[in-house]
Amino acid sequence: MYKLLALFLLAFVYVQVDTVAQQKILTDAVERAQREGFSGVILVAQDGEILFEDALGLRAYENRSLLHEDDIFELASLSKQFTAMMIMMCKEKGLLDFDDQVSKYIENPYPGITIRNLLTHTSGLPDYQAIMDEHWDKSKVAGNPEILKYLREYAPVKSFDPGEQYEYSNTGYVFLASIVEKATGKDFVELMREWIFQPLGMYDTDIRSLEEKAKVETFAAGHLKDENGKYVNAATFHSDDYTIWLGNRKGPGRVSSNAKDLLKWDQALYTEKLVSKETMEEAYTAFKLNNGTRSYYGFGWEIKPQSPFGKMVMHTGSNPGYSTIIVRYLEENKTIIILNNNVHPDLMRVVEAATLSLGKW
C-alpha cells in the first residue's frame, strides 16, 4: 500500500483550484473514510499551524469509547526517526561517527557494517525476529541484549554485503539503540526522554511498557477484524504475540505518541534545537550504494526528491492493529500526520486527498 502511495506522491501534478474546492477534497475523503469505518486521527498543518484535525472512530471497540484528537497511538516504525536522531545527537556530542564500524561498539558476527549502513538499511543484517521466533523461550520477555546474544549464537546468514543494496531492517535499528547505550553508558529509553521528548514538550510521547500503556486512559487500542468481520482488540490475535515476548526491544519501534506531539517534533526538525541543519541535511540525503546509484532512504526517513511541493520525506509504521504515517514537504513546511487504529484501507486515500488540499488554504 505504501509503495503505491509513494509512487502517487512522486508522480502527482498539482492542479490549481480555488481554496474551498481544495478543502472540500479533504473533507469529502474524510467523510467517506468515516462512512467506511476508518478509525484514527488526521492532522494537516502548514508552517506548524493546524489547518485540519479530526478524530474518527473508536478508541476501543469493546466499550465503544470514542477517539479524541489527543489520543495516543502506537507509532510502530515511525519510531525509527527518533532512534536515528539519537545517533545524530551522539555524533554531534563527539561520542561516535556515522562511518564507525559497528564492531567498535557491539560484538556481532557481521564484519564491515558501519553505523551509516544501519541508519540507511544497507547493512545486509538478517531478520532478528525470525531467529528469536525460532529459538526464544516465549514465556520470557526479550530485549536488545538477548536479541544480540541470539544473533551471535546462531549467526544467520546475512542478506548481502554492506552497501550493496537497500533492504529494510528492524535488526539494524536494534543495533543502533544498543550503540547509543554503549556510547553514552545510559539507558536508551531514559536518554530519549531526556534528549528529545522533554526538551520538545512532547509530554504525551514515550516508550511505554505494556503495563504503562494499560494505565494511559487515552491510549487508542489497535484493532483487527476477526473471522466474522468484526473489529476486536489486536492483542487477541496470534500475530500480536511478539509485542509481548519481544516487549523490551529498543530502536525499531515502541514509541507511542499523538498527532500534536508529532507536529511538535516535525517543527523542531526545522530548527537546531536537537542537531545542526547540516546534520539534518545528511539525514535527508539518500544513501549512495556501492554501485553508485542512490537508494531512497536517509537517516530514519524515506526520501522523495520531487513532489508537488518540492523535496518530501516520509515514513510509515505498521503494528498489529495500527497503521501510521507522517509526510513532510520540507521546502514549504507542509505536514500530514495520520494515526490509524484499525488498519483501514482508506488511509492512503486520505493522504492523497490531504496532499491535494494543501495547495492553497
Other residues' Cβ atoms within 10 Å of the Cβ of residue 339: 30
- Active site positions, annotated: 77
Radius of gyration over alpha carbons of the chain, in Å? 20
Q: Is the pLDDT of residue 11 over 60?
A: no
Convert the pLDDT of each residue in 66-94 to its tens digit. 999 999 999 999 999 999 999 999 999 99
Rounded CA gap, 302 and 3, in Å?
11
Q: What confidence score (pLDDT) does residue 239 get?
A: 85
Is 361 buried (19+), middle (13-18) or exposed (0-12) by CB count in 10 A? middle
Task: Indicate which CATH number applies to the domain containing 198.
Answer: 3.40.710.10
β-sheet bridge partners, residue 163: none
Convert the pLDDT of each residue in 278-334 to its tens digit. 999 999 999 999 999 999 999 999 999 888 899 999 999 999 999 999 999 999 999
- Please state the domain count of the chain: 1
The DSSP symbol for 236 reads G
Residue 112, sorted as left (phi over 0), alpha (psi -120 to 50) or beta, turns out to be: left
Expressed as residue numbers, the domain containing 298 is 2-357
Q: What confidence score (pLDDT) does residue 170 get?
A: 97
Is 350 buried (19+), middle (13-18) or exposed (0-12) by CB count in 10 A? buried
Question: Residue 340 — φ and ψ, nearest 5°?
Answer: -120, 135
Tracing cell 469505518 back to the chain, one arrives at 37
Task: For the sheet with 302-304, list strands across it.
Answer: 49-56, 40-46, 334-340, 322-329, 312-319, 302-304
Tracing cell 489547518 back to the chain, one arrives at 51
Convert the pLDDT of each residue in 116-147 to its tens digit. 999 999 999 999 999 999 999 999 999 999 99
Convert the pLDDT of each residue in 315-331 to its tens digit. 999 999 999 999 999 99
* DSSP helix/strand/coil, 278: helix
